[in-house]
């Protein structure tokens, strides 16, 4: 399970430019303190990452 610190570390490690993606679903809820943990990180992004 991924907690907030895990999500932040993973996103820093993949080094995507800030402001070019957004966190959705369970990971978004973890980041906002609604859930304690999630199984994965769902991201949305702009077309240049497709």
Q: What does the pLDDT look like over 14-48, one tens digit per residue? A: 998 889 999 999 999 999 999 999 999 999 988 77
> What six digits make up the tokens of 7?
């999500």
Distance CA 24, CA 30 (A): 10
Give the Cα-Cα-Cα angle 27, 36, 41 (nearest 5 degrees).
15
Q: What pTM was computed for the model? A: 0.88
The residue-averaged pLDDT of 3-18 equals 96
- 3-class DSSP state for residue 48? helix
pLDDT-derived band at 3 (thresholds 50, 70, 90) equals: very high
Which residues have C-beta within 8 Å of that of residue 31, sequence separation ≥ 6? 4, 7, 23
Q: In the prediction, which pLDDT does 8 show?
A: 98
């Amino acid at each position: 399970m991924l907690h907030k610190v895990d999500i932040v570390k993973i996103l820093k490690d993949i080094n995507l430019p800030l402001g070019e993606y957004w966190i959705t679903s369970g990971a978004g809820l973890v980041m906002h303190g609604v859930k304690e943990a999630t199984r994965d990180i769902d991201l949305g992004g702009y077309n240049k990452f497709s």
